Structure 1
Amino acid sequence: MLLLLLLTNAFVLLPWAGAGRIIGGQEAKPHSRPYMAFLEITSGIQFYTCGGFLIRPDAVLSAAHCVDKEGSVKVTVTLGAHNIRREEPSQQTIPVEECVIHPEYSRESLENDIVLLKLAKNATINKNVQCISIANKNEGVREGTKCDLSGWGLTSREEDETDVLREVKLKVQNETICQQLSPKYERQSMICVGDENRKKSAYKGDSGGPLVCNEKAYGIVSHGYACRLFPEVFTRISYFELWIREQLKRFSLQDIPGSPSSD
């Protein structure tokens, strides 16, 4: 069942029980995006899916709203997948040991919509499963830059579905477009993205997936605006780079017996 979070002038690209595809895109070449992660999230009797991406063998980045559920949440990550309805030999399914939501995340405004997932064991890096670099704090992405988005989200407003990874090119937009639609748009921590022709878009189920520009992850699919396919808001990774590095360092310390973080 799709859980809709109703916000003023906004909708969240929330996960869907059963994956679909990106709107206006095309099927990705199998395993051409080896950093992609498929998230299965269980909260009580409810089931959701989201996207994510591998940034270290033990860590996946995604959107905080994907795991921000009432009660206990169980998350499982599948790496190396193309068709998520099949048991492909390339797939690695790993449970999540810890979900670290940014401490200033807001479910109302969707500010700081980022979560780091610590995997219960390291992924095996091979041709089908690889990490992707993230933008550092000094790196920006210019208006007009065309970037790649991939995911298993729904393919249309009619909620058509498919099982394979889809991809689409979207353009970084002038931020005033998003600011005009919502006073909650934050230039420092968000990126305004989309297709002016309203034919291509991320959609429900694509949340948490990466915006990849020049082979580096610059954004995370966060949310859009009610009844619109354009524009969409992505979490700006460069703004959170130091926080991400701090958490990754803590993850490493936890793996060392007797370290301060493992006591």
Structure 2
Amino acid sequence: METSDGFICQPGFELVSGECVDVDECLTSPCLHGGTCVNERGGYTCRCATGQYGGECQYSAPVPTPLTPHTSSPTAVLLSAGFGVLLCLVLGVKGGLVPPRVKLLGPKPPRLDHSRIVGGDVTTQGQFPSMVSLQHRGMFGSTHVCGGTILNANHILTAAQCVKGYSSGSFDVVAGEQNLNHVSGFEQTLRSEHIEMHDYSTTTGANDIAIVRTSTSFVFEAGVVEPVALPADYQEPAPGVMCTAVGWGYTDINGDYSEDLRFVEVPYIDDAKCMEIHGPDSIMLDMICAGYTGGRGTCYGDAGGPLFCEGVQQGIISWGEECDATPFVSTQVSHYLDWIRLFIDS
């Protein structure tokens, strides 16, 4: 929202008498199933009742123990669930949890699954130096929940579904990571300090984009830790171009996280074809599609990671149906460059 003097209010604030004032999102009772809403500056956190989880306490299911890299004990998952901060529950992380669904008007509602790499290959150290692992910090360590990419020395780009409902300082951001369970010496781990989330819709999956600011700065080293290359404003991939999705997600729908960072080559699919596959009401203007029908694609744990086309990050991996069953959908980065610049330059 823009004031009369041209100042833009950040998400979570509204214009009142010429000033940007924090919105109390708790007034709309966003927390479901008896969850308690705690208003925060620019956002809110839901404290879920026992047996509920999700950013808005929207899911109810027994919570089996998922693989928890960098966690000293699997008990951490169950204990933290009791405190309403379940590790690895971000939309898209499966780990045995019931995957969330987007409620769409179309006949084929996609799932906002933390996508994984299916049918891909293991990367080499430094092959994707802008890649980071976004890890939720719990009582017994940090657990990978999503991917992301480095924008500059202290900002990363990821999906809004990965951070929605969490406090700004609850994540570790690990750059230079290749294997989640092996320390190579190239890793740089920074703590999150602030989160800027776009006007993300859990109903349609629109605006699935967020920026995480870290409390300290990355030390850039060529071929190890580098900022990502972004597209030009509203740049579209060339028809039929091959793109690359990158992540630590599942390698098949009944599997588990990949310890190694993986990548898969998939074709860019134009909006018209993507609408034929997912339904005309499912694909928004700010989404981009890539992938095959079965065999190669993304899955649980890949959300927030990059889709590279022609050397630049065209997409932020967002959602898909049954992992690699259909082409997956990403947030189209070229449509958000002004918003990205606004927050990394402020």
Range of TM-score over shorter length: 0.7 to 0.9
The one-letter code of the counterpart of 1:155 is: T
Residue aligning to 2:286: 189
Counterpart secondary structure, 1:179: helix
1:73 CA drift (Å)? 6.4
Bigger shift: 137-146 or 104-113? 137-146
The percentage of counterpart residues that share the same residue type is 26
Question: With structure 1 as the length reference, what TM-score do the two structures score?
Answer: 0.85
Equivalent-residue separation in structure 2 for 1:216 and 1:32 (angstroms): 14
Q: Report if aligned partners of 1:22, 1:154 keep a CA contact under 8 Å in 2.
A: yes
Q: Structure 2: any 5+ residue segments left out of the alignment?
A: 1-65, 67-93, 104-108
Residue aligning to 2:26: none
Question: With structure 2 as the length reference, what TM-score do the two structures score?
Answer: 0.65
Q: In the TM superposition, what are the counterparts of 1:64-143 in structure 2 within 5 Å?
A: 64-69=160-165, 74-102=170-198, 104-127=199-222, 128-143=224-239
Q: Report if aligned partners of 1:44, 1:73 keep a CA contact under 8 Å in 2.
A: no
Residue aligning to 1:40: 135
Equivalent-residue separation in structure 2 for 1:69 and 1:143 (angstroms): 37
Counterpart secondary structure, 2:111: strand
1:228 CA drift (Å)? 5.7
The one-letter code of the counterpart of 1:14 is: H
1:51 CA drift (Å)? 0.3
Deviations 1:85-134 (A, max 9, x none): 122210000011111101x2111111000001111111000131011111
Residue aligning to 2:343: 247
Q: Report if aligned partners of 2:244, 2:265 keep a CA contact under 8 Å in 1.
A: yes
Equivalent-residue separation in structure 2 for 1:48 and 1:125 (angstroms): 22
1:227 CA drift (Å)? 7.1
Equivalent-residue separation in structure 1 for 2:123 and 2:162 (angstroms): 23
Q: Report if aligned partners of 1:67, 1:73 keep a CA contact under 8 Å in 2.
A: no
Counterpart secondary structure, 1:220: strand
Q: Which has the greater radius of gyration?
A: 2
Q: Report if aligned partners of 2:295, 2:324 keep a CA contact under 8 Å in 1.
A: no
Residue aligning to 1:25: 120
Higher relative contact order (CA 8 A, sep 6+): 1
Residue aligning to 1:61: 157
Equivalent-residue separation in structure 2 for 1:75 and 1:214 (angstroms): 31
Residue aligning to 2:295: 199
Equivalent-residue separation in structure 2 for 1:226 and 1:155 (angstroms): 12
Q: Report if aligned partners of 2:244, 2:309 keep a CA contact under 8 Å in 1.
A: yes
Q: Report if aligned partners of 1:54, 1:60 keep a CA contact under 8 Å in 2.
A: yes
Equivalent-residue separation in structure 1 for 2:183 and 2:218 (angstroms): 17
Residue aligning to 1:257: none
- The alpha-carbon distance between structure 1 residues 136 and 212, as it changes in their structure 2 partners (threshold 3 A), is same
Bigger shift: 38-47 or 89-98? 38-47
Residue aligning to 2:332: 236
